[in-house]
Structure 1
């Protein structure tokens, strides 16, 4: 039976994986500087992973974007297979719940692939970034909150809810984060955030799967309003 691309990666490189899902708001309010800086930040994240010996072999990234609906724009892949992003379009509403649910579905599917290939993985990371108030399905939003908080409570997911700009609904983001408050991005410091994230991925990849890894809290000052 032919191997899928994702499974080929796991056979060739059985290093324990750090799955990172970026769930990104691409609604109309992200137009202009915010969406351009977001694209630059994601590409900087890819570059930093590629240059780090530990993160290079361990990290796998997927991207879900949400506007009036949710869309998987990058399924989980190692850095060699990640396509640099030329641009992202900002339009439509803010279907946040739909975005998170798609991200979790994609993550669950990838975990099944890991298990089938006999590859260990670290606690997955979900990065949720939005600049407004959700206006998608309230039922989908509630379901997404329940799923995330259950996984976090079972120590099967680490979530980073990040508000972009003054209009971000920090109360809604807080519902996704039972253990730590959500953070607000300082200005448009997407590149600084993704540099911090890549260093955090590297730190996790140097640990043993199942260990608790402390985050670089001091590094938050470089990109977050504290």
Structure 2
């Protein structure tokens, strides 16, 4: 067992607080270069800061970051509390858009973490998957199809909440819609990553103060600050 995994398992023993697992599945392909990737980095940092400002969320939220760019998907941050991993990694834009590979990796990591919760007797809330892209997938079609089917099944059985977010006019909203059978994807207004991630941080805080299994209403009015259909 590597040291990082050991720390994450020990954290479940030392801190048995019910967990909110949030995976950020982020497009870092070449088309995100410049202002978009800079604003995305600022937004993710604000998300971390918002969670750290809430004492309950600080110990409940576990963040995972999976990126898709270059030639493949990559987990740059496995699920961990912000006590263990207080700062996000810096994102850099390059390469292609292997979206299906990234979502499958995210779901695999989530299933593994849920098993660790169960093995240590730690309760958890319905996990969240945030999928953000400024284009369309150009990875393996079989991987994409499998990722869509897996995500739809988890959403339909109430085992996952998905937030599909399109960035800019080039985002393939039809593909994003396939990942979200319960709610339509949203398009980010301009480069309002800051507003989105602040909203997401508040939503995580609100969830962490509820009871696992309880239905938590999202701040629908707040969405209008950063997103549009």
Cross-structure match for 2:166: 163
Distance in 2 (CA, whole Å) between partners of 1:84 and 1:56 is 12
Cross-structure match for 1:11: 13
Q: 4+ residue stretches of structure 1 with deviation over 2 A?
A: 83-87
Please give the secondary structure, in 1, of the residue aligned with 2:77: strand
Selected match of 1:36 from 38, 44, 48: 38
For structure 2, the residue ranges without an aligned partner over 5 or more in a row are none
Distance in 2 (CA, whole Å) between partners of 1:87 and 1:216 is 28
Contact conserved, 2:48 with 2:88, CA < 8 A, in 1?
no
Cross-structure match for 1:88: 91
Contact conserved, 1:36 with 1:87, CA < 8 A, in 2?
no
Distance in 1 (CA, whole Å) between partners of 2:97 and 2:161 is 23
Contact conserved, 1:46 with 1:82, CA < 8 A, in 2?
no
Matched, 1:149 2:152: yes
Please give the secondary structure, in 1, of the residue aligned with 2:97: coil
Larger displacement relative to structure 2 (74-83 or 56-65): 74-83
- 1:168-218 per-residue CA deviation (whole Å, 9 max, x = no partner) reads 000000000101100000111111111100110111111111111111101
- 1:98-129 per-residue CA deviation (whole Å, 9 max, x = no partner) reads 00000000001100110111000000000000
Contact conserved, 2:77 with 2:89, CA < 8 A, in 1?
no
Cross-structure match for 2:135: 132
CA RMSD after TM alignment = 1.4
Contact conserved, 1:100 with 1:144, CA < 8 A, in 2?
yes
Distance in 2 (CA, whole Å) between partners of 1:191 and 1:130 is 16
For structure 1, the residue ranges without an aligned partner over 5 or more in a row are none
Please give the secondary structure, in 2, of the residue aligned with 1:36: helix
Write the mapping of 1:71-86 to structure 2, written as runs, cut at 5 A: 71-85=74-88
Larger displacement relative to structure 2 (203-212 or 156-165): 203-212
TM-superposed deviation, 1:83: 4.8
Distance in 2 (CA, whole Å) between partners of 1:195 and 1:135 is 30
- 1:14-56 per-residue CA deviation (whole Å, 9 max, x = no partner) reads 1100000000001000000000110111111111100112211
TM-superposed deviation, 1:84: 2.4
Larger displacement relative to structure 2 (77-86 or 99-108): 77-86
Matched, 1:122 2:116: no
Matched, 1:212 2:215: yes
Larger displacement relative to structure 2 (75-84 or 107-116): 75-84
Distance in 1 (CA, whole Å) between partners of 2:12 and 2:90 is 29
Normalized against structure 1, the TM-score is what? Answer: 0.97
Please give the secondary structure, in 1, of the residue aligned with 2:62: strand
TM-superposed deviation, 1:86: 5.8
